[in-house]
Structure 1
Amino acid sequence: MAHTLDIISVVCDDLAVYEPLLNMLISAGCVPYLFHSAHDFLNSKRCISTSCLIADVQLPSTNGLDLHELLVASGNEIPTILLLAELDDDNRARALKAGVPHFLRKSFINGELLACIKATLKDRTTLRRAP
């Protein structure tokens, strides 16, 4: 049986966050793809194969939560983890209502993010794997 790897798409324009995040995902055995905007992600073919989406809530234009809501509305619900600078009650409530149970402050510890990814991948209903 062939081994498959989880594709983790990261939508973030914060250099201080995404470079260490990509290195950590590679070390964890994931296949990360970086997108600097929701537009870049939506126009890629990665929407189809993404196992888990990690998206920044503070993106210009379409933010991470908006992106998740757009994907759900289009019938392409991808398990999502949101990155936030501040975890306020409004964002928390909106995320939970949109079906995003996992969100982290940008000062996350690698173990926290890996635990969120593991829980997100375990909870997903549709398997999305790369050959």
Structure 2
Amino acid sequence: MSRYSTVSVVDDDPSIRAALNNLLKSQGHIVHTFASAEDFLRSSQLNDTSCVIADVQMPTMSGFELLEQMRAQGHAAPFILITAFADDRTRARALSVGVIGFLAKPFAGLELIACLDDALREHRGGTDA
């Protein structure tokens, strides 16, 4: 898998943003973090992101609502949802709306990296280029 993909992390928890920023940068990715879905939607990174990793539950706009907004605007970047409240209903909803990955916090860094690699590979049409 080639590196230097741009990954956008959207989570209201600063410790999660910092941890994911460090993990993903250590894997060679360009990382941009956002404290809210609205901040991400207003950013210049919206059009340049290779994958979005977003929390399900945030104060004003959920990860599901962010995905819906992005798709409505024509953005097809793969999406990974993370949550501290992973129940079967939320997982089923996530998979039904087309997220590439759904991870329950706390998750292992390697689990996220594998999920991200799969998402980027699928987004690039199944190639490692």
Q: Flag whether TM exceeds 0.5 (same fold).
A: yes
Q: What do the CA deviations read for 1:86-117 (whole angstroms, capped 9, x no partner)?
A: 21122112111110130111201100000000
- The worse-fitting range, judged by mean Cα deviation, of 28-37 and 71-80 is 71-80
Q: What do the CA deviations read for 1:44-65 (whole angstroms, capped 9, x no partner)?
A: 1111110000000111111111
Following superposition, the deviation at residue 72 of structure 1 comes to: 1.0
Compare relative contact order (CA 8 Å, sep 6+) and give the higher one, 1 or 2.
1
**How many angstroms apart in 2 are the aligned matches of 1:112 and 1:72?**
26
Q: Which SS does the other structure have where 2:99 is aligned?
A: coil
Assess if the C-alpha contact under 8 Å between 1:68 and 1:78 holds in 2.
Answer: no
Residue 60, structure 1, aligned to residue 54, structure 2: no
TM-score relative to the length of structure 2: 0.90
Structure 2 matches for 1:1-12, cutoff 5 A?
5-12=4-11
- The worse-fitting range, judged by mean Cα deviation, of 52-61 and 82-91 is 82-91
Regions of 4+ moved over 3 Å: none
State, as a whole percentage, how many aligned pairs show the same letter.
43
The count of corresponding residues between Structure 1 and Structure 2 is: 124
**Matching residue's letter, 2:87:** D
Residue 109, structure 1, aligned to residue 108, structure 2: yes
**What residue is the counterpart of 2:92 in the other structure?**
93
**How many angstroms apart in 2 are the aligned matches of 1:36 and 1:119?**
25
Structure 2 matches for 1:4-43, cutoff 5 A?
5-43=4-42
- The worse-fitting range, judged by mean Cα deviation, of 8-17 and 23-32 is 8-17
Q: Structure 1: 5+ residue runs without aligned partners?
A: 127-131
**Matching residue's letter, 2:68:** E
Following superposition, the deviation at residue 124 of structure 1 comes to: 1.0
**What residue is the counterpart of 1:122 in the other structure?**
121
**Matching residue's letter, 1:60:** P
Assess if the C-alpha contact under 8 Å between 2:78 and 2:100 holds in 1.
Answer: no
Assess if the C-alpha contact under 8 Å between 2:51 and 2:77 holds in 1.
Answer: yes
Q: Which SS does the other structure have where 1:83 is aligned?
A: strand
**How many angstroms apart in 1 are the aligned matches of 2:100 and 2:17?**
21
**Matching residue's letter, 2:84:** A
Q: Structure 2: 5+ residue runs without aligned partners?
A: none
Q: Which SS does the other structure have where 2:121 is aligned?
A: helix
RMSD: 1.6
